[in-house]
Every structure is written in C-alpha cells, then in structure tokens.
C-alpha cells in the first residue's frame, strides 16, 4: 500500500524492520526496490547485492541489481548482471530487454538490436520490445522496420494507454512518426496519470500568501552541464534581473566539470544538487526554499524526475524548453511556447495552460564564442567547389522520407554533397547504402565528427545550406546554424518538435525558408543551390543584423520571459486559476 501511494520513505522503514528480524533475500530485494523508489540508490544497491548473494540463482534479484546500477550511471556493471541471467536462460525476456536498453545507453546499437530481436522472437507484439528495437535501429539509420507495425502499436497504445504493457515507454516516441495528434495526447495523458498516481502523497504542501521582495524562480533540470539545453540557456542565467528575481537551480545530474556548470553556479542565487535525493525529499527542499514558480526543463527526457513536479512543491509549475511537447494535465500549470510551435488552435492538445512568448520560445545565447578560424573545406574533408548541404542533427532524427528528398536534391544539383554528423559508424554505413540504393554515389556523403563547441560552430560556415529533418527538427542545432550564418531550410508538420526550426527562422527574420510541404522544400533547396547570390544575401543578413535579431537578443528574450513569470504570479496572487495568455513587448 505504501508503494502504491508513493510513500516510499515509509515503505523503506517498514521493510527495513522486516529485514532486521528476518534477513531473507526476498526482503532485501523488496527493500532495494523501496530504496530505489525513494531515491536512496546507494542503499538500494547494498540490499540488491545482498539479495543476489543470498540467492545467486534467482534472476529477478540479478535484474533488480542491474536496474539500480543503471540508475547509478554504471551501465557496464548493470549489463554484466543482465548477461549473467542470460547465461542461465538465453530466452529470459526481461533480461533481453534490459540488455538491449543498456547497450543503447552505451552506444552499442548493433548489439542492442540483436537483443531486441531475440526478445521479439519470443513476444512479437510486446510494446517494449517493438519500441526498443525501433529506437536502436533509428540510431543507426536501419530502416528495415515495418511502419505498419509501428502505427498499429501506437493505435493500440492510444486505445488502451493505461495498460501496463506501455509503462516505461515515454510518449515522445509518438512524435518521431506520422500519427494523429489525438493518439499522442492519449498516451501522454496516461503517462502523466501514471506519474501522478505513483507520486501521490498524504496531505500536501501549503503556500501562504507571503510575497517576498523578489519573485523566486526555480529551474529543475538534469542538463546543467555541457548539453544542448545549457548551450541555449547559458546567456539567460547571466542576464536575469537579480534585483527582481531570485534564481535557484536544482540539478538532477552529476557535475561534469564543464564551464557551463561552473558559470551556471556562479550566475544563480542558489544551486542545489538533487541527483541522489528521493522525490519527496527533493520536493520538500524546493518547498522549504519558498520557490514561487518551478520551471520544468526536462519533461519526460533522459534524467527527468516528473514525480517531483507531481508533488506540487511550488504554487506554480511551468514547462519550458527541454521537452518540446505537452507533459499532459497535472504535472505543470503552464507551458511556455510561441504561436508557431503551438498555434492557438492547437491549445486543446496541451494539458497545460499556454503562455505565448513573442518571436520564439527558444532562447539563444547571444554571446557564445565561435572559433575565429573558419576551416578550409579540405581540412574538414569537403570538396572545395561543391555545393554543400549540411545536417548535423542526430542520426535518429533522419527519416527515410526526408533522406529520399535529400537524395533527389543531390541528383538535381550536379557536384553537390551532403555533410552529416557522424553519430556512429553504423549510421554512416547504412546511410551510404541508402544513398547507393537511390542512385547516388556514396562518396557524395561526408561525415563530421564531434568537435568542441566553438570549433563546431566555425565549421558550419563551410556549408552552404542546412537541410532540416522532418518530424524532430534541429532545435539547438537550428540556432547554431543561424548563429554561424548558415541559412536553414525546414518543413513544419503538426507536432511541436517538427515546428521548432520554423519558430527559430521566424525570429531570425527568415520566414521564407519555412516550406509549405516536401515538394516546396525540395524545390527551394534546388533553387538556392542554383542561385548562390540569394544564399549570400541571407548570410549577410544574419551577420550584419545579428545583434538586432530577436533570436539572438538574449536580454530581450529574458525580459519577455520574466514578464511571463510576472503575469503568471500576479494571476495567482489574485486567486485566479492558471489561464492561457500572450506576452506582449513594451
């Protein structure tokens, strides 16, 4: 009952007493689970290991230990536990799923696919196996999956979203393919309801109306390190009006020692590391700090702790930036958007009340450094005289339908090449095969490795045109391209993550690069390749107007965001429930 109500701390105490009286392996395993649920991962590991020691042949105990080790960011050790189960039983379904997931985390996608396919041979319609295999294949651009199987799975999921078969699958996967928005809404709300049930607690937090001298804003994220979210937000923390706002950052992940982390800590009033805290303890700390508005920068992405938001530790909660979709109803009161990523007519698809910022919802750091040395094309492996189309989106974002468009562009523009980010060797090989199958010489595909950020921004200047992906756009990558002076072409669809680049382009005053459909996208790409003066004009626009464009004016953006916070808070002080509104500039 305690676990069902989310009272994990109480459960730890009760099972702990049972272990003291009778230290049976099953009690240690149950205590490990309770400790995991309460965020006490070190204790969870201790008791999971004890359960395995007392009952070494019990696969459930080994998998429980593997799960804890995975949460402690030790995937190789976790994988050893999963493999120990598979050594005894090669067809242990849960062990196969876990081995697949852990190999994905370690970027061993081919191995992951092998384990998922073994699982699918046992249970061909299991949602976790189907989605897991699809995700692993996406990372290596292996498009051998059957789209009909995926669509059918999403239809079943939307029809029965609360079914336990779908627990643990995040709803964002539905945005990676063309499915009705209503189905995305259904699975998102079921996911939110599951979080809310697990985080339910006796009583709750009280919020007396005692306004302080400054509005207290808390930012909750696992990305306060060298991460795309911090690449965007770095400048914002430096220009928040600290005379009117007290800024506290709550971190859910380890310190990577990067300048991004150090600068963040220096530019906020308070910083709290919640990485190893239980959800209830973290929520209590946020409440004790007197946070007025808690900003959710994670949604359901890697490292998110939505159960903290579910406990409502602050009077108002607002989703922004880190998760480009609704979190459903109940976790956040507001979602900060703009009228391109979330048009007013789409408001019914959001569980939150919408706050429409002017220009764009996506902040960009207007002071980020670019290496002053633009590399020669030969130094980055590109032909000097070619027309260079670029896309540095992660490989999983590349869809077969968009890759086909890119190949048609190459076919119609002699001497053109496509420059991609080398996410992994498997993706490189598969994309070269796909190019060959479409009649394009694979040597016209070039791949760029990971580089330090300033050097990456500089190398983008070696390209002529950035070609965006379809369902999951370039987000930080779109801002990066435009900051480097590289025009970008995009084709928005229905979902939020497919509309981000259109928002960014509009804020850069280049709305004509937003395409109506894929035919328009293809024709514009070909025309721009044949009319280089138009691209040069856009480059001059980005370079000469950089300081005045809304996209790059971090101070202007921050004032608009702060105005949004003020409007939320004033409404709350007046006793009015959250409601959608627009922020207008003075």
* pLDDT digits 0-9 by tens, 311-361: 999 999 999 999 999 999 999 999 999 999 999 999 999 999 999 999 999
Binning pLDDT at 50, 70 and 90, where does residue 23 land?
A: confident
Task: Compute the radius of gyration of the chain from its Cα atoms.
Answer: 25
For residue 238, the surrounding DSSP H or E stretch is helix 228-239
Instruction: Give the closest residue to 510 by CA, choosing from 521, 518, 502.
Output: 502
Burial 360-382, CB ≥16 within 10 A → b, else e: bbbbbbbebebbeebeebeebeb
**Range 232-248 average pLDDT:** 97
User: What is the per-residue pLDDT for 274?
Assistant: 95
CB 508 within 8 A of CB 482: yes
Residue with tokens 């939307």: 158
470-479 average pLDDT score: 98
Q: Residue 321 and residue 12: Cα distance in Å, rounded? A: 35
CA atoms of 510 and 269, how far apart (whole Å): 37
Please tell me the predicted confidence (pLDDT) of residue 586.
Answer: 77
| Phi, psi at 389, each rounded to 5° | -90, 135
Average pLDDT of span 375-394: 97
3-state secondary structure of 468: coil
CATH ID of 215-366+556-582, from 3.40.50.11380, 1.25.40.10, 3.40.30.10, 2.40.50.140: 3.40.50.11380
The token duo for 527 is 């025309």
Pairing of strands 445-448, 417-421: parallel
How confident is the model over 435-461, as a mean pLDDT? 98
DSSP state of 574: T
Average pLDDT over residues 250-272: 97
Higher pLDDT, 281 or 445: 445
Helix 93-105 / helix 127-139 crossing angle, nearest 10 deg: 30
- More confidently predicted of 46 and 433: 433
Tokens linked to 430:
């598969």
Q: What whole-number distance in Å separates Cα of residue 564 and Cα of residue 40?
A: 36
pLDDT of residue 8: 62
Res. 527: pLDDT tops 50: yes
Q: Is it the case that residue 27 has pLDDT exceeding 80?
A: no
Residue 247, H or E segment: strand 245-251
- Tokens found for residue 315: 């009077």
SS3 573: helix
What is the rounded CA–CA span in Å between residue 497 and residue 281? 33
At residue 26, the pLDDT reads 82
Q: Is the pLDDT of residue 6 over 60?
A: no
Every domain range in the chain assigned CATH 1.25.40.10? 8-146
Query: For position 279, what pLDDT does the model report?
Result: 87
Which stretch of 163-167, 374-378, 466-470 has the lowest confidence by average pLDDT?
163-167
- The two most distant CA atoms of the chain are separated, in Å, by 81
pLDDT at residue 5 tops 60: no
Task: In whole angstroms, give the CA distance from residue 390 to residue 467.
Answer: 6
**Helix (H, G, I), strand (E, B), or coil: what is residue 392?**
coil
Query: In angstroms, rounded to a whole number, what is the distance separating the alpha carbons of residues 248 and 267?
Result: 10
Task: Give residue 567's pLDDT.
Answer: 98
- State the CATH class of domain 377-552: alpha beta
In the chain, ranges of CATH 3.40.50.11380 domains: 215-366+556-582
pLDDT value at position 411?
A: 98
Q: Compute the distance between CA of residue 229 and CA of residue 302 in angstroms, rounded to an integer.
A: 12
Q: What CATH number should be reported for the domain whose range is 8-146?
A: 1.25.40.10
Mean pLDDT of 236-240: 97
Can you tell me the distance from the alpha carbon of 361 to that of 503, in angstroms, rounded to the nearest whole number?
Answer: 8
Start and end residues for every CATH 3.40.50.2000 domain found in the chain: 377-552
The answer to whether 95 and 82 are in contact (CB under 8 A) is yes
Name, in order, each residue with C-beta under 8 angstroms of 121's C-beta and a sequence gap of 6 or more. none
Whole-angstrom distance, CA of residue 236 vs CA of residue 272: 19
pLDDT higher than threshold 80 for residue 3: no
Closest CA to 154 of 135, 122, 120, 130: 130
Q: For residue 64, how many C-alpha atoms fall within 13 Å in the half-sphere facing its CB?
A: 30
82 pLDDT exceeds 60? yes
Query: At 17, is the pLDDT very low, low, confident or very high (cuts 50, 70, 90)?
Result: low
Q: Are 319 and 296 in contact (CB under 8 A)?
A: yes
Q: Which has the closest alpha carbon to 521: 495, 498, 542?
A: 498
Residue 9 has pLDDT above 70, yes or no: no
Q: What does the pLDDT read at residue 15?
A: 66
User: So what's the pLDDT on residue 58?
Assistant: 94
Task: Give, as one character, the DSSP assignment of residue 577.
Answer: P
Q: How confident is the model at residue 201 (pLDDT cuts 50, 70, 90)?
A: low
pLDDT averaged over every residue in the chain: 94
202: pLDDT confidence band, cut at 50, 70 and 90? very low
Nearest one of 50, 75, 71, 72 to 62, comparing CA atoms: 50
pLDDT confidence band for 4 (50 / 70 / 90): very low
Beta-carbon contacts of residue 533 (< 8 Å; ≥ 6 apart): none
Q: Using one digit for the tens of pLDDT, what is the confidence trace for 127-180?
A: 999 999 999 999 999 999 999 999 999 999 999 998 998 988 999 999 999 999
Model confidence pLDDT, tens digit, residues 336-347: 999 999 999 999
Does residue 399 carry a pLDDT above 50?
A: yes
């Amino acid at each position: 009952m305690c676990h069902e109500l989310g009272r994990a701390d109480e459960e730890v105490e009760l099972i702990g007493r049972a272990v003291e009286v009778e230290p049976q392996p099953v009690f240690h395993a149950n205590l490990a689970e309770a400790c995991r649920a309460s965020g006490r991962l070190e204790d969870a590991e201790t008791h999971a290991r004890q359960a395995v020691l007392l009952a070494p042949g019990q696969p459930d105990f080994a998998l429980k230990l593997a799960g804890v080790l995975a949460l402690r960011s030790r995937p190789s050790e976790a994988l050893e536990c999963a493999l120990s189960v598979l050594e005894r039983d090669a067809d242990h379904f849960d062990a196969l799923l876990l081995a697949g997931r852990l190999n994905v985390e370690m970027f061993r996608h081919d191995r992951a696919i092998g384990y998922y396919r073994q699982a699918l041979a046992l249970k061909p319609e299991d949602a976790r196996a189907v989605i897991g295999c699809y995700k692993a294949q996406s990372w290596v651009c292996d498009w051998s999956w059957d789209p009909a199987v995926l669509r059918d799975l999403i239809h079943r999921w939307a029809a029965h979203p609360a079914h336990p078969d779908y627990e643990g699958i995040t709803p964002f996967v539905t945005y990676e393919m063309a499915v009705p928005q209503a189905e995305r809404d259904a699975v998102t709300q079921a996911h939110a309801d599951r979080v809310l049930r697990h985080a339910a607690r006796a009583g709750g937090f009280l919020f007396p109306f005692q306004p302080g001298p400054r509005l207290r804003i808390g930012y909750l994220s696992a990305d306060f390190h060298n991460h795309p979210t911090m690449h965007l937000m770095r400048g914002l923390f430096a220009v928040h009006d600290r005379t009117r706002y007290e800024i506290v950052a709550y971190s859910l992940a380890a310190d990577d020692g990067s300048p991004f982390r150090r600068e963040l800590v220096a530019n906020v009033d308070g910083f709290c590391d919640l990485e190893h805290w239980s959800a209830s303890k973290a929520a209590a700390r946020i409440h004790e700090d007197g946070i007025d508005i808690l900003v959710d920068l994670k949604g359901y992405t890697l490292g998110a702790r939505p159960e903290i938001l579910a406990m409502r530790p602050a009077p108002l909660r607002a989703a922004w930036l880190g998760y480009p979709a609704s979190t459903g109803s109940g976790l956040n009161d507001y979602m900060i958007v703009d009228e391109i990523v979330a048009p007013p007519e789409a408001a019914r698809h959001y569980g939150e009340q919408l706050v429409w910022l002017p220009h764009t919802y996506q902040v960009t750091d207007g002071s980020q450094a670019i290496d002053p040395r633009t590399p020669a094309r030969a130094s980055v492996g590109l032909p000097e005289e070619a027309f260079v189309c670029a896309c540095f989106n992660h490989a999983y974002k590349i869809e077969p339908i968009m890759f086909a468009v890119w190949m048609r562009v190459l076919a119609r523009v002699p001497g053109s090449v496509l420059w991609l980010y080398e996410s992994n060797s498997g993706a490189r090989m598969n994309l070269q095969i796909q190019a060959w199958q479409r009649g394009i010489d694979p040597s016209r595909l070039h791949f760029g490795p990971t580089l330090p950020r300033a050097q990456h921004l500089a190398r983008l200047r070696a390209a002529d045109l950035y070609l965006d992906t379809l369902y999951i756009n370039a987000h930080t990558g779109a801002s990066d391209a435009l900051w480097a002076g590289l025009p970008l072409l995009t084709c928005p669809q229905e979902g939020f993550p497919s509309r981000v680049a259109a928002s960014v382009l509009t804020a850069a005053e280049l709305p004509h690069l937003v395409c109506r459909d894929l035919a328009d996208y293809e024709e514009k790409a070909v025309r721009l390749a044949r009319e280089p003066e138009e691209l040069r004009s856009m480059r001059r626009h980005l370079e000469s107007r950089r300081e005045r464009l809304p996209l790059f004016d971090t101070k202007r953006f921050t004032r608009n965001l702060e105005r949004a916070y003020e409007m939320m808070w004033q409404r709350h002080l007046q006793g009015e429930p959250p409601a959608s509104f627009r922020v207008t500039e003075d």
